[in-house]
Amino acid sequence: MGVVEEVNSTANAIEATPPFAGRRAIIYGAARGIGRAVALEFARRGAHVGVADIDLAGAQTTAADIVLSGGSAIGLKCDVLSSESVRGAAEQAEAALGELDMVMNNVGVILGGFPEDIPLSEWERVLGLNLMSVVRSLEVFLPKFLARGSGYIINTASFAGLYPYAFTRMPYVAAKAAVVALSESLALYLVPKGIQVSCLCPGPVMTRVAEGMKAWTANAPMAGPGSQFTVKSAEQTATLLADGMRDGRIMISTDDQVWTTVLRHAEDPDRFIHEKIAEFARGEWGIPGR
């Protein structure tokens, strides 16, 4: 079998696998926002869902809403800064739902400020929540999935990890860029072994993530990914993710216009950066709808 045939065979195998009906999933960071919407969407498509979050009441509310709609779910408390808590939530989900087939690493926090104002402790906190939470999850699930030769890993990144614009939230940028690179390399390693990988890259999405945002610099500007993008709801984002998974996609964005921007950046990174500097100097902050 040639290389092209092997690639097509792998892709067809992915597409032929129903990713939701009867599957058992755990979503870390699913009490609200994108995670909650994804939990509801996965359940609507027939998955049994473990809803894990540091906010137990929120996780239980999401799970109760799934059950009320005729689905199967359990709400779980989990602190993704703790390996023991990540593993414990997975064990509780398996005890209630059965062996887990899918894991989504969705926990994310942002902050604001110039890099010289952000203390080391905040870098560690943000990297711990946005990046190391994925690593802790992989520690739990990779051995299981590899032993079975099947499974699905979904990681949430961001447009901010694809190209430079979010200079006042650099710990978040660094974490999400790492999640993108990690997810792509995981796909290289795992897809041939029967384990599916998707990386969700949200652009502008209406969520409450900014409510708990710490600001370390007064009046620091909030730059966006580009005014050309349409703001999506969490529900639209969940549908786009689920449809992309159904279609066997690895990189899933909330707006496929983003790949044009990524291509422009890749063609000449220096020029892209200098153009972005000029945009900011003109007061063009890349906020959708402005």
> What is the DSSP code (8-state) at residue 128?
I
Task: Provide the β-strand partners of residue 155.
Answer: 105, 199
In a domain, 288, yes or no: no
pTM as predicted: 0.93
**Cα 288 from Cα 290, distance rounded (Å):** 6
| pLDDT attached to residue 195 | 98
pLDDT digits (tens, 9 = 90+) for 127-147: 999 999 999 999 999 999 999
SS3 label, residue 224: coil
In a domain, 287, yes or no: no
> What is the DSSP code (8-state) at residue 251?
E
| Side chain identity, residue 153 | I
In a domain, 199, yes or no: yes
Locate all alpha helices (DSSP H) within the chain, ordered by sequence: 3-15, 33-44, 56-68, 83-97, 120-127, 133-148, 170-190, 234-246, 258-267, 269-281
User: Could you list the residue range(s) of the whole structural domain that residue 226 is in?
Assistant: 3-281
Query: Residue 208 — pLDDT band, cuts 50, 70, 90?
Result: confident
| pLDDT attached to residue 210 | 67
Q: What's the length of the chain?
A: 290
> Is 6 a residue whose pLDDT tops 60?
no
Cβ(185)–Cβ(191) below 8 Å: no
> Is 65 a residue whose pLDDT tops 80?
yes
Task: Provide the β-strand partners of residue 197.
Answer: 153
In a domain, 52, yes or no: yes
| pLDDT attached to residue 10 | 44
> Is 3 a residue whose pLDDT tops 80?
no
> Is 16 a residue whose pLDDT tops 50?
no
In a domain, 262, yes or no: yes
Phi, psi of 201 (to 5 degrees): -115, 90
| Active site amino acids | 172
Q: Is the dihedral of CA 122, 127, 132, 134 positive or negative?
A: positive
In a domain, 239, yes or no: yes
In a domain, 289, yes or no: no
Q: How many domains does the chain have?
A: 1
Average pLDDT rounded to a whole number, residues 239-256: 97
Cβ(55)–Cβ(33) below 8 Å: no
Cα 142–Cα 106–Cα 205 angle in degrees, nearest 5: 150
CATH code of the domain in which 70 resides = 3.40.50.720
In a domain, 110, yes or no: yes
Query: Residue 207 — pLDDT band, cuts 50, 70, 90?
Result: confident
Cβ(20)–Cβ(99) below 8 Å: no
